[in-house]
Structure 1
Amino acid sequence: MRTFYDAGIVGGGVIGLMSAYFLSKAGIKVAVFEKGKIGCGASSAAAGMLGAHTETERADAFFRFAEESASLYPGLSAGLLEETGIDIQLVYNGMLKLAMTAEEAASLRDRAGKEPDVEWLSRDSVLKKESNLTEDLQGGLFIAKDGQVSPSALCRALARAVQINGGTILEGAAAGRIQRAEPSHYEVSAAGETHYCEALVITGGTWSGQLFGEVGISAPVHPVKGECLSIMPDGFRLASTVFHESCYLVPKSDGSIIIGATMEEGNWRAEPTIQGMSSLMEKAVSIMPCIKKGVFQKAWAGLRPAASDAKPYIFKHEGMKNLYAATGHYRNGILLAPKTGEMVRDLFLNRPVKEEYEREFGLNRRTEVKS
């Protein structure tokens, strides 16, 4: 017996699940094909931060997309809780972006003067807010509205909501062969069966480049390995997320602190290393000296999917019928997921999408290698 779906979504991380969620809420019959467990890739390695200000220094299209995406979380959180009973643990604990040098302080003060929702704090004001931070700092930006979610809870809630809305979640279903059966549908071989999908949405994270190759598209996506660890404080606490350069300290609801993340281009091995842990600990202690008293809990690693310009691909293919993609979200998958899912839905239903987003995240954009 043949099973037909309106849309087959290849990849069950947060981007695939969010795309399936928005499509299923719009009445589209979806199937999510995930080779492992839902959310088991880069999504499971994320700290869950919702901080647009940490990812760019410019108020460009990417920043506006990130802010719009973050603003969707309160409604999304309430809706998922009502629909599934799962709390995605959305909290707004604020973020401190630290300045350790006079040059960094001047840059952040300038941003505070130009951007809404951010406040420059002097060294003393930062230490009044977080007394355990190093005294060797110049000050910092405080972004009160920045928050976080639990990535694992988010993925569970999205998957459950997709099922409630008539969608299908197929775990252990790696998409082997994908081909277009003109003129009507795509055929996806997964879990020992052939599945028939009128449309295809590629959301395969780091493996999206290979999936693109299956349908004849050249759009390289490469892994950027990120390692993290968590500790349980002993006699101290952290209230706000703290960020400096590429290191973040994220306090979680159980009192633990996630420390991340390393960045290693082109490494396909998703295991933590002694070198990675050592570098994270050294940086974390330089930010918050007493963290060395914390009790080590665990370490992990994930493979962030990145295009050469570190911006995601979100598009409807112009030359191949009913082919869509949402991938390459680098280290911003959790932050960008709601707006990405909304954009996939709108592209699918031929609803208006902002031209700057189609241009910025399109397949044929001019890409520059981000250093």
Structure 2
Amino acid sequence: MKTFYDAGIVGGGVIGLMSAYFLSKAGLKVAIFEKGKIGCGASSAAAGMLGAHTETEKADAFFRFAEESGALYPALAADLLEETGIDIQLVYNGMLKLAMTAEEAVSLKDRALNEPDVEWLSRESVLKKERNLTEYLQGGLFIAKDGQVSPPALCRALARAVQINGGTIFEGAAAGRMRAEPSHYEISAAGETHFCEALVITGGTWSGPLFEGLGISAPVHPVKGECLSVMPDGFRLASTVFHDSCYLVPKSDGSIVIGATMEKGNWRAEPTIQGMASLMEKAVSIMPCMKKSVFQKAWAGLRPAARDAKPYIFKHEGMKNLYAATGHYRNGILLAPKTGEMVRDLILSRQVKPEYAREFGLNRGTEVKS
């Protein structure tokens, strides 16, 4: 017997799950095809930070999208808890973005003057919040609105909610042939052929080959990121701390996640001695007492990145009912709710902000970030 779905979603990371969640909540019959386990890729490797200010210093369309997405989390967390009983561990503990030199201090002070949601704190004020920071501290920005979630809990909650809302999840189901028919798509996965009116590519790092199979040029490459978790000795970190591309993220059990390295083009999702050494060195330079922390575990993930480091979120103009949401790079957790909403709105022909359609469209400019 043939089974038809309103939307077939290829990729079961946080972006595919969030897209399926919003579509199923809108009454669509959805199926997710995941080649491994749900949420097992870059999504589970993320630290879970929700901080638009960390990723950009420009108040552009990307920043506005990130802020709107982050603002969706309180209602989303409450809804998921009610629907599934799973707590995604949303907390707003703020972020300290540190200055270690006079030049960094000047730059961060300028940001505080121009951005309403950030506050410049003197060295003394920062140390009142986190007394164990380095002697080289000059001050820092405090971003009270920044928070975090648990990515594994988020993925579990979304998967359960999709199923509660009538969706189907296929694990160990790599999408083989995807063929466009006049009225639907045929997807070969898990030894069967599935029929979907709309096809949504949310395959993360593996979206590139999926696009190529459909005759679409939208390169996505891996940027390997490594993290580790430690248990501090004799202190607790209150806020997320960030400096020199290194973050220290306090978790509810008292542990601290340290991340993350960046290595373009590496397809091996395994931690290395070199990566761990780099992270440990940076962490100790930020907070010297970290050297006494007890190592817990290390892991790695492959962030999917487009050439300009912005995600693809689009409806293909030349192929009927083909959509994509991928390439979210370092911001998958932060951008997931707004991305899910945008995918839903594109499929249901609802209004999408023109600036977002331009910013994340397939045919945007190809300028490469240095």
CA contact (8 A) 1:88 1:157 kept: yes
In structure 2, give the amino acid aligned to 1:218: S
CA distance in 1: counterparts of 2:108 and 2:59, whole angstroms: 14
In structure 1, give the amino acid aligned to 2:357: E
CA distance in 2: counterparts of 1:279 and 1:173, whole angstroms: 36
1:294: which partner in 2?
A: 293
How do 1:338-349 residues align onto structure 2 when only pairs under 5 Å count?
338-349=337-348
1:9: which partner in 2?
A: 9
CA distance in 2: counterparts of 1:236 and 1:294, whole angstroms: 10
1:158: which partner in 2?
A: 158
1:365: which partner in 2?
A: 364
CA distance in 2: counterparts of 1:227 and 1:306, whole angstroms: 16
Listed one character per residue, the Cα deviations across residues 46-85 of structure 1 (whole Å, up to 9, x for unaligned) are 0000010000011110000000000000000000000110
1:40: which partner in 2?
A: 40
CA contact (8 A) 1:127 1:135 kept: no
Helix, strand or coil at the partner of 2:258? strand
Corresponding pairs, count: 370
1:215: which partner in 2?
A: 214
CA distance in 2: counterparts of 1:178 and 1:100, whole angstroms: 52
1:102: which partner in 2?
A: 102
Listed one character per residue, the Cα deviations across residues 252-274 of structure 1 (whole Å, up to 9, x for unaligned) are 00100000000000000000000
2:234: which partner in 1?
A: 235
In structure 2, give the amino acid aligned to 1:169: I
In structure 2, give the amino acid aligned to 1:369: V
Matched, 1:122 2:122: yes
CA distance in 1: counterparts of 2:22 and 2:175, whole angstroms: 22
In structure 2, give the amino acid aligned to 1:80: L
Shift of 1:176: 1.1
2:174: which partner in 1?
A: 174
Matched, 1:283 2:244: no
CA distance in 2: counterparts of 1:70 and 1:197, whole angstroms: 31
Listed one character per residue, the Cα deviations across residues 107-137 of structure 1 (whole Å, up to 9, x for unaligned) are 1111111111110001111111100111201
CA distance in 2: counterparts of 1:275 and 1:66, whole angstroms: 32
CA distance in 2: counterparts of 1:135 and 1:193, whole angstroms: 62
* Identity across matched positions, percent: 89
2:71: which partner in 1?
A: 71
In structure 1, give the amino acid aligned to 2:125: S
How do 1:197-216 residues align onto structure 2 when only pairs under 5 Å count?
197-216=196-215
Shift of 1:94: 0.4
CA distance in 1: counterparts of 2:98 and 2:307, whole angstroms: 28
2:142: which partner in 1?
A: 142
Helix, strand or coil at the partner of 1:223? strand
Helix, strand or coil at the partner of 2:87? coil
2:273: which partner in 1?
A: 274
CA contact (8 A) 1:179 1:214 kept: no
Helix, strand or coil at the partner of 2:330? coil
Shift of 1:151: 0.2
In structure 2, give the amino acid aligned to 1:224: V
Shift of 1:100: 1.1
2:349: which partner in 1?
A: 350
2:311: which partner in 1?
A: 312
Shift of 1:177: 1.1
CA distance in 2: counterparts of 1:201 and 1:103, whole angstroms: 45
CA distance in 2: counterparts of 1:3 and 1:214, whole angstroms: 23
CA distance in 2: counterparts of 1:227 and 1:274, whole angstroms: 10
Q: Which runs of 5+ in 1 are unaligned?
A: none
Listed one character per residue, the Cα deviations across residues 145-190 of structure 1 (whole Å, up to 9, x for unaligned) are 1000000000000000000111001111110111112x11111110
Shift of 1:40: 0.1
CA distance in 1: counterparts of 2:313 and 2:62, whole angstroms: 12
CA contact (8 A) 1:228 1:262 kept: yes
1:56: which partner in 2?
A: 56
In structure 2, give the amino acid aligned to 1:298: K
Listed one character per residue, the Cα deviations across residues 310-349 of structure 1 (whole Å, up to 9, x for unaligned) are 0000000001000000000001000000000000001111
Shift of 1:5: 0.4
Shift of 1:237: 1.4
Q: Which runs of 5+ in 2 are unaligned?
A: none
Listed one character per residue, the Cα deviations across residues 278-323 of structure 1 (whole Å, up to 9, x for unaligned) are 0000000000100010000000000000001100000000010000
1:250: which partner in 2?
A: 249
Structure 1 runs (4+) greater than 6 angstroms displaced: none
Helix, strand or coil at the partner of 1:231? strand
In structure 2, give the amino acid aligned to 1:256: S
2:260: which partner in 1?
A: 261
1:329: which partner in 2?
A: 328
1:224: which partner in 2?
A: 223
Shift of 1:101: 1.2
